[in-house]
C-alpha cells in the first residue's frame, strides 16, 4: 500500500510565540524523537530535503501553512521553515482574512494550541518486534494549525497510565478555553466551529468517565460543570 498523503499531530508545546499585533505565529509543525499515538517516530533530517526543495528559501517555495489541513483556508506561506534539534520549526505571518484574524485571536485565547503536518512518506523502517515505524524521510506538503482532539478509546489508555492526570487536565483546560473564547467577537462560522468542538470535547469527557466506571453525568437534568467532570475523572484515575 502506497501512502500518498498522511497527517500527523504534534504533542503539547508546539506553539512557541504568538505576536498578536503583527499577526506572527512561531512554533513547531512536528516534533522529532517521540513515539506518537500511531506508533511512529519522526527522525531528525526527515524533512531536510523537502524543505531545501520547497521551503521559503528554495526556488519553488510551495509548502503552505493551512488551517485544519483545508486547502481552501490557507493561513500563510511560512517565511521561516527549518529543522532544529527539536523538530520542524516555522514562523508565519498570518494572512489578513476573516478566518486568519480569527485564528490569531484563537491562538491568543489558547483554543488553538497544536499543529500538524500533511506529508507523503518517502523512507521508513518498521520494527516488527515493537511495531514502531521510524520515519526517515518525508515530502512535506503543508503544516496546519489544528484544534486539539482525541479518540475516547485512546484517552482511556492514556489516563490509566502515569500521565493520566495531565491528559485529563489538558482536556478540561481546552473546554474552559473554548467557553472563554465564545464570549469574544468571532465570525459566525468560527463561533459555530467553537460550539461544535465544545460539544465534542464534552462528549469525550462523558464517554471517558463512563468507560472508566458508569456514572450519572446529569444532576437534576443539568450537565456537570468542567470542574465537576475533572473531579470525577481524577477520582476514577486515582
Do 89 and 130 fall within a single domain? yes
Do 201 and 140 fall within a single domain? no
pLDDT in tens, 121-169: 999 999 999 999 999 999 999 999 987 644 455 555 565 555 566 777 7
Q: Which of 98, 115, 146 is the last residue of a domain?
A: 146
Asked if residue 69 belongs to a domain, the reply is yes
Asked if residue 122 belongs to a domain, the reply is yes
Asked if residue 42 belongs to a domain, the reply is yes
Check residue 14 and give its pLDDT: 87
pLDDT in tens, 171-226: 788 888 888 998 988 988 888 888 877 877 777 777 666 666 555 555 444 566 66
Burial of 83 by CB count in 10 Å (0-12 exposed, 13-18 middle, 19+ buried)?
middle
Do 131 and 196 fall within a single domain? no
Do 157 and 141 fall within a single domain? no
pLDDT in tens, 60-73: 999 999 998 898 99
* Cell (9 digits) for 236: 476514577
Dihedral, CA atoms, 203, 151, 68, 42, nearest 10 degrees?
A: 160
Please give the tally of structural domains in the chain. Answer: 2
Check residue 29 and give its pLDDT: 94
Check residue 194 and give its pLDDT: 87
Do 167 and 65 fall within a single domain? no
Asked if residue 83 belongs to a domain, the reply is yes
0.85 surpassed by pTM: no
Do 138 and 203 fall within a single domain? no
CA distance 156 to 211: 7
Do 103 and 198 fall within a single domain? no
Can you give the residue range of the structural domain that contains 31?
Answer: 6-146
pLDDT in tens, 83-118: 999 999 999 999 999 999 999 999 999 889 889 999
Q: Which of 125, 146, 167 is the last residue of a domain?
A: 146
Task: Give CA angle at 109 (103, 112), nearest 5°.
Answer: 50
Do 20 and 134 fall within a single domain? yes
Do 172 and 56 fall within a single domain? no
Do 180 and 120 fall within a single domain? no
Check residue 237 and give its pLDDT: 57
Asked if residue 131 belongs to a domain, the reply is yes
Q: Which of 146, 164, 193 is the last residue of a domain?
A: 146
Asked if residue 182 belongs to a domain, the reply is yes
Check residue 107 and give its pLDDT: 94
Asked if residue 139 belongs to a domain, the reply is yes
Check residue 149 and give its pLDDT: 46
Amino acid at each position: 500500500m502506497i501512502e500518498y498523503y498522511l497527517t500527523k499531530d504534534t504533542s503539547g508545546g508546539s506553539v512557541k510565540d504568538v505576536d498578536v499585533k503583527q499577526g506572527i505565529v512561531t512554533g513547531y509543525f512536528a516534533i522529532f524523537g517521540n513515539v506518537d499515538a500511531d506508533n511512529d517516530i519522526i527522525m531528525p533530517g526527515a524533512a531536510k530535503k523537502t524543505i531545501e526543495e520547497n521551503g521559503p528559501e528554495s526556488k519553488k517555495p510551495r509548502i503552505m501553512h493551512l488551517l485544519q489541513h483545508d486547502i481552501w483556508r490557507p493561513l500563510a506561506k511560512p517565511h521561516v521553515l527549518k529543522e532544529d534539534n527539536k523538530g520542524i520549526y516555522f514562523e508565519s505571518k498570518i494572512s489578513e482574512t476573516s478566518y486568519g484574524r480569527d485564528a490569531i485571536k484563537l491562538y491568543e485565547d489558547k483554543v488553538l494550541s497544536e499543529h500538524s503536518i500533511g506529508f507523503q512518506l518517502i523512507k521508513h523502517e518498521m520494527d516488527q518486534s515493537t511495531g514502531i515505524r521510524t520515519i526517515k524521510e518525508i515530502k512535506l506538503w503543508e503544516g496546519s494549525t489544528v484544534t486539539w482532539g482525541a479518540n475516547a478509546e485512546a484517552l482511556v489508555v492514556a489516563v490509566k497510565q502515569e500521565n493520566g492526570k495531565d491528559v485529563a487536565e489538558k482536556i478540561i483546560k481546552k473546554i474552559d478555553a473554548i467557553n472563554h473564547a465564545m464570549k469574544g467577537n468571532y465570525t459566525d462560522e468560527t463561533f459555530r466551529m467553537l460550539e461544535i468542538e465544545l460539544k465534542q470535547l464534552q462528549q469525550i469527557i462523558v464517554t471517558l468517565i463512563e468507560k472508566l466506571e458508569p456514572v450519572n453525568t446529569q444532576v437534576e437534568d443539568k450537565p456537570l460543570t468542567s470542574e465537576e467532570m475533572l473531579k470525577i475523572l481524577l477520582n476514577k484515575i486515582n
